[in-house]
Amino acid sequence: MSSKRETPLRVAVLASGRGSNLQAIIDAIEAGQAKAKIVAVISNKKDAAALERARKHGLPDLFVDPKPFAGRPDGREAYDRALLEVLEKNDVDLVLLAGYMKIVTAVLVNAYANRMMNIHPSLLPAFPGLDVQKKAIEWGCKLSGCTVHFVTEGVDEGPIIIQAAVPILDNDTPETLAARILVQEHKIYPCAVQLFAEGRLRVEGRHVFIDGA
């Protein structure tokens, strides 16, 4: 899939909310720990804090309004075509979903097959979807964590790149558990970006092999 490269990897981040994972990636790039360049931060929410973070770091930010696409039978695909145009115009190599609260369609998934990642706050395949910290506590799990995976059409189903585990404590609330998981998210997402930038991720079916690991 990706090969060794001379120029920095061109990354776009799609985010809908507070953007702490975006921040972790910005910080890793600025610290030289991830050899990449963020060429676009895109949101479907006008007031997403992620866009503000991008502006603070002088990164191009863009709000793509979903409203004009709503109600059309092909609205979700049409929205993704608009995103794809931006990604292609910016020569984006890798797309990162970071708290992007919109299901991506085949339009983006196919154009960026094995070149689009997502971070999810559970140890997939346990607890895909929403409210996953609450579900893990309710289930009585002793461990939870986070997963970086490539994006396929099934929500939270793509090949797993990296996972990190954390304990679930007896007195945990969804909020305390989410905070413990988030610390790990901020470590493994930049790490996955760097592995991709180094051309070390090899996908075979459901398996992602890390060359030289």
Interaction site with ligand GRF (CB under 6 A): 15, 17-21, 98-99, 119-121, 146, 182, 185
> Between 15 and 51, whose beta carbon lies closer to ligand GRF?
15
What's the rounded Cα separation, in Å, for the pair 182 and 175? 10
> Between 21 and 114, whose beta carbon lies closer to ligand GRF?
21
> Between 19 and 158, whose beta carbon lies closer to ligand GRF?
19
| C-alpha separations of 22 from 76, 132, 183 in Å | 24, 20, 13
The β-bridge partners of 13 are 41, 96
Q: 164: part of which helix (H) or strand (E)?
A: strand 160-167
- Sheet of strand 160-167, all strands in order from the earlier edge strand to the far edge: 61-63, 36-43, 9-14, 94-97, 116-120, 143-150, 160-167
Distance of CA 135 to the CA centre of its chain: 21
> Between 68 and 125, whose beta carbon lies closer to ligand GRF?
125
Neighbours of 113 (CB within 10 A): 15
- 120 catalytic per annotation: yes
- Given 57, 120, 186, 207, which residue is catalytic? 120
Find the shortest distance in angstroms from Cβ 120 to ligand GRF: 5
Find the shortest distance in angstroms from Cβ 121 to ligand GRF: 4
Find the shortest distance in angstroms from Cβ 199 to ligand GRF: 25
The closest residue (CB) to ligand GRF is 99
Q: Could you tell me if 31 and 191 are in contact, meaning their C-beta atoms sit under 8 angstroms apart?
A: no
Find the shortest distance in angstroms from Cβ 167 to ligand GRF: 17
Instruction: State whether residue 36 is helix, strand or coil.
Output: strand
Active site positions, annotated: 120
